[in-house]
Structure 1
Amino acid sequence: MVSGFVTSVWHRVQYIPLWSALSATRLRGLDHRARIFGDMVGCAMRWFPPARRRFDREVLRIFPDMPRARRAALRREMGRNMGRTLFEILNSAEFQARQERFHVSGPGLAALQAARAAGTGAIVVSGHFGQWDAVRAVLKARGMETGAVSRPQRNRFYQRGFLAGVEAGGRPVISTGRAGTMELVRHLRRGGFMAILLDEKYAEGVALPFLGQPALTSTSAATLALKYDLPLVPAYGTRRADGAEFDVAFEAPIPHTDALTMTTAINDSLSARVRAHPGQWYWLLRRWMGT
């Protein structure tokens, strides 16, 4: 009982900075609030030594010759982008309301529309890149509500707000784990759409190249697409220079071959996006083997 009380108090203390930042910007417009929140996170990335060291280690793994000044600028850019993305997810209903900010392209959207018309499910794959929930916002506005797979947060106060935001983007929101996998399968077999972020290290996964380095990667999305004959569509919401608009690209569905080949293609797709816009990927994921 004492341990539970201490944990609850500690979770409240951890949540105070986020709550304070959200409260301080409450009376302003969404874009202005998101920019302020992003600047706060960018500042933290600049001055918080553990985050700075971890970021530099991961970036130098991929870009060993990147100068220190460029790394510092990239670190602040990543912090600002991730801060804005978090804020927009926490305010998902407001974020989705302005569809004119989403500039949609790519053949994958037609493939998803065909799947919906046929009453079959579909899997959309992406990563912690840009504003990944812009993809679901576009699909929901077009009558293709898309659920998400989400890892529960340890802090219950943060989890409450984050889960509400993710659910506003599309249901169901399914937790990782065996029970979640069963629920995911049922949803897909009923003709549902699901979005999966595949750039987190998966201990039981297969070592496949990501940005040129071996990374333990789950092959579950490809396996499900093959088993239930579903389109597997990579999609990305790249934040434009103004920070408030997005290029939402639906790439062509990954051809059905085998799970390893398909998952490698997904990693290659995301790698190309990260190389083109390195400040829009979350470099603190401990993505690679040995980290």
Structure 2
Amino acid sequence: MAKSNKQKRSHGGWQDRLADYVLRGIIWTALRLPVKTRLKLVGWVVRRLLSPLLGWHKRVYANLDHVWPDCPADKRRVIADQAIDNVARVFIENYDVPELLKRGATAGFGGPGLAHVEKARAEGRPVLFITGHLGAVEGARCAMVARDFQVGGLYRPLSNPFSNAHYAKNMHQICDPVFEQGRRGTMGLIKHVKSGGMAVLLFDLFSSAGETIDFLGQPAPTLTSAADIALRTNALLVPFFGVRHDDFFGFDTILETPIEHGDPLDMMREATRRLEARIEENPGQWMWIHRRWKPERQARRQRKRAAATTAP
């Protein structure tokens, strides 16, 4: 088979520098506006101007067709618009941490898991909060921090190093310790949790190294890292969600009943069921622009595995 002549562009060059200048200009302009106006404007720009260029609506529709093929066309459009609007809001909210902490401090906060978390904190037992890319995910973390929960985390760095510098700064501004995704960062997170700390992990991104778990009715590779860390550190594993109100400005932070320790795969199946329930209740708040399932890649992997097991 002929090799492709296309080479991946290295990051850190003038293209990334130019893109970051543009991004910084957009952020600076948006932050000059009142917060509600800012969120509505950025949502509109991303939804109506950037999404057609990036193909985000098409990606949302493809994902919806994959898991909910009978979803009516008008509902698909609403879900797509809301999901893209939510992504835009999450992005710009992260660049005004004081405002998000202030909003989190007055947001609804509770759920059946709160008493378990309070008990664990009093006993010095570590807590690992687990969630997906739904609603005001960083807002929910800010709501916990505003209530003196010192919640660290793990973040996936941006490919553009210039943009990643200010993106990572915001993650640290919410609450330390924050670790960059990778072996070193994971070990740092484990050490923090093992010492009795609290941390957040998101588990709903595609990972070819993950175990196959049905997500919204279709198989999706899912890492068991959160369950593995909880078992290794004896941490309470607590699903939580920042569910936005109908105005997409206010939100409630909901701490669910902890997931019982056991087989890591079973624990992640339960975490997946919790997230599915929230998505089915608020479908427009999940990040449908992510290629969560990648059915073609999964099919190729299945064929390779089948060929390997049948080979003499």
TM tier relative to shorter chain: over 0.9
Amino acid at match of 1:151: R
Alpha-carbon distance, 1:17 to partner? 4.2
Equivalent residue, structure 1, for 2:140: 135
Cα shift readout 1:99-141 (whole Å, capped 9, x = no counterpart): 4541112121222222221122110000110011122112212
Amino acid at match of 1:117: A
Equivalent residue, structure 1, for 2:206: 201
Matched, 1:192 2:170: no
Q: Write out aligned runs for 1:1-291 (5 A).
A: 7-44=12-49, 47-48=52-53, 50-99=55-104, 101-290=106-295
Q: 1:31 to 1:43 in 2, by over 3 A?
A: same
- Unmatched 5+ residue regions in structure 2? 1-7, 297-312
Q: 1:286 to 1:39 in 2, by over 3 A?
A: same
Alpha-carbon distance, 1:47 to partner? 2.6
Cα distance in 2 between the residues matched to 1:239 and 1:61: 25
CA contact (8 A) 2:43 2:88 kept: yes
Cα distance in 2 between the residues matched to 1:14 and 1:68: 35
Cα shift readout 1:151-172 (whole Å, capped 9, x = no counterpart): 1111122212211221122211
Cα distance in 2 between the residues matched to 1:44 and 1:81: 15
Amino acid at match of 2:248: G
Identity of aligned residues (%): 30
Cα distance in 2 between the residues matched to 1:50 and 1:242: 25
CA contact (8 A) 2:126 2:195 kept: yes
Q: 1:167 to 1:6 in 2, by over 3 A?
A: closer
TM-score, L = length of structure 1: 0.92
Question: Greater shift after overlay, 9-18 or 101-110?
Answer: 9-18
Alpha-carbon distance, 1:49 to partner? 6.0
Equivalent residue, structure 1, for 2:308: none
Q: 1:252 to 1:204 in 2, by over 3 A?
A: same
Question: Greater shift after overlay, 251-260 or 28-37?
Answer: 28-37
Cα distance in 2 between the residues matched to 1:252 and 1:189: 21
Q: 1:179 to 1:276 in 2, by over 3 A?
A: same
Alpha-carbon distance, 1:21 to partner? 2.3
Cα distance in 2 between the residues matched to 1:26 and 1:222: 38
Question: Greater shift after overlay, 23-32 or 117-126?
Answer: 23-32
Alpha-carbon distance, 1:237 to partner? 0.3
Amino acid at match of 2:90: T
| SS at 1:48 equivalent | helix
What is the Cα-based RMSD across aligned positions, in Å? 2.0
Cα distance in 1 between the residues matched to 2:10 and 2:60: 34
CA contact (8 A) 2:82 2:284 kept: yes
Cα distance in 1 between the residues matched to 2:11 and 2:173: 31
Cα distance in 2 between the residues matched to 1:4 and 1:271: 36
CA contact (8 A) 1:45 1:79 kept: no
CA contact (8 A) 1:46 1:76 kept: no
- Unmatched 5+ residue regions in structure 1? none
| SS at 1:149 equivalent | strand
Cα distance in 1 between the residues matched to 2:9 and 2:207: 29
Cα shift readout 1:208-231 (whole Å, capped 9, x = no counterpart): 111111111111111221222211
Q: 1:99 to 1:128 in 2, by over 3 A?
A: closer
Tell me which structure has the larger Cα radius of gyration. Answer: 2
Amino acid at match of 1:179: R
Cα shift readout 1:64-114 (whole Å, capped 9, x = no counterpart): 022333322221111111111111112122211234541112121222222
Cα distance in 1 between the residues matched to 2:17 and 2:152: 29
